[in-house]
Structure 1
């Protein structure tokens, strides 16, 4: 996954900087979590397939093709990783709420009267 580059205006306000930095931190958080999760999943899946292949060699009458036998692996993996995914989702939602709060603050800060970049129209 390639990382996004966030725009950094020359006159960035404190609220805008906090908003941008939290968005960058969220991106790093997602990248690290899913990189580790995908590596863990692949490692455990390969172990499961190797164990199934070994069972096929040692006890042919109990052998089931690893492609057919992956459903129990997926179920067990999801059950085992439930708490980890729950913690990830809780952290993600807290982070998203904080990002929304900071984004609104940055938006309002940028549009204050007299501030460069204000979107207020001038009446004649």
Structure 2
């Protein structure tokens, strides 16, 4: 029912805000402990690799198929097993998002072109007008397409949301464990320094 779906979407929205708040808090705290700044956003292609002395994740330009920015994850030389699990979970989430949105956007563009072509053909028009410009439909006509596309892909979107939350639960949990491990390591180091 619409009431249940509205309640579920409110829950997912609230949980999303909470999970990203925790994610940002843990990241800020971690960077503050290491006295680093946030990694900058870079505009090089996917083939680009950060220089060897870099100690941050690098973010690339949006992918032309998925519109997502790929991340090249920093791998510390003495990465612990827990840190490796966190990095791999983040890489897995990125790959999953990339696959979903590349397929989704490709289907969207193809179905949109087919819809526009069929509507123009029904009106007796061509894909290009007399001046050579691509013919378009009104916002009301396109609203029909958007509504149909969303309805047709509802199950895919719900499954994507479930998977997205699973990935984020796992990543947030691992980030908490890594932050705790690093804090304990830092405290042990301070204790040794005080004893000496």
| 2:121 aligned to which of 54, 67, 70 | 54
2:95 aligned with 1:22: no
How many Å apart are 1:111 and its aligned residue? 3.0
* Structure with greater helix percent: 1
> CA-atom RMSD, angstroms?
1.9
Runs of 4+ in 1 over 3 A off after TM superposition: 119-124
CA–CA distance in 1 between the matches of 2:187 and 2:113? Answer: 56
CA–CA distance in 1 between the matches of 2:181 and 2:108? Answer: 44
| 1:10 aligned to which of 73, 77, 82 | 77
| 2:152 aligned to which of 80, 97, 106 | 80
Match of 2:53 in 1: none
Structure 1: segments with no counterpart, 5+ residues: 59-64
How many Å apart are 1:5 and its aligned residue? 1.2
Question: Structure 1 stretch 88-97 or stretch 6-15: which is displaced more?
Answer: 6-15
Match of 2:111 in 1: 44
Q: Is the 1:49–1:66 contact (alpha carbons within 8 Å) kept by the matching residues of 2?
A: yes
TM-score under structure 2 length normalisation: 0.54
CA–CA distance in 2 between the matches of 1:26 and 1:86? Answer: 16
Match of 2:165 in 1: 93
Structure number with the bigger relative contact order (C-alpha 8 A, sep ≥ 6) is 1
How many Å apart are 1:31 and its aligned residue? 1.1
Q: How many residues align?
A: 114
CA–CA distance in 2 between the matches of 1:86 and 1:119? Answer: 43
CA–CA distance in 1 between the matches of 2:75 and 2:187? Answer: 19
Structure 2: segments with no counterpart, 5+ residues: 1-62, 64-68, 126-135
TM-score under structure 1 length normalisation: 0.82
